[in-house]
Structure 1
Amino acid sequence: MSSPYLCPNCKTNRTRFNIIEQQVKSVKLNPQTGDVVEQLDQSALDPFHISYKGPEYRIQCGTCGLIEDEISFIKRAQNNQ
């Protein structure tokens, strides 16, 4: 997060952003009720459960509300210097 941002949607905001930290929790659900049956440790997932490989956080524009990966905001800023 040491790069300048520019919102790819509103194209004017360079200063007001929300950083959304994503906390991954792997669970098994009861198929009938949707209740959590088991919370799984990331290091001990069963063979049919893929571990989360998405971004650690996302960025929200504080002006228009767009939520995207950080790279979208960085690339827009680099292209409009």
Structure 2
Amino acid sequence: MGGISIWQLLIILVIVVLLFGTKRLKGIGTDLGGAIKGFKKAVSEEEKDADFEQKKQVEEKSAAEPVSTETQSDVKEKS
């Protein structure tokens, strides 16, 4: 009734195996797995690069701000 049953999926699987063969399907699976692994690696490297850039910007910003070495007591003594 509108859905795909398990038997229909099994028939499709058998037809695909007969058409392509197990070696070709194994190769496709290996290639697909390698592509997914490469994608995950690229995403994690991108996140690391973004974190590094944020830290670098914070360090540059803090280095650009002048640091006052005078304390409030030093300012009062000068007055």
TM-score clears 0.5: no
The structure where helix makes up a greater share of residues is 2
Which entry has the higher C-alpha Rg, 1 or 2?
Answer: 2
TM range (shorter): under 0.3
Query: Normalising by structure 2, what TM-score?
Result: 0.28
The structure where strand makes up a greater share of residues is 1
Query: Normalising by structure 1, what TM-score?
Result: 0.27
Larger RCO, structures 1/2 (Cα 8 Å, 6+ apart):
1
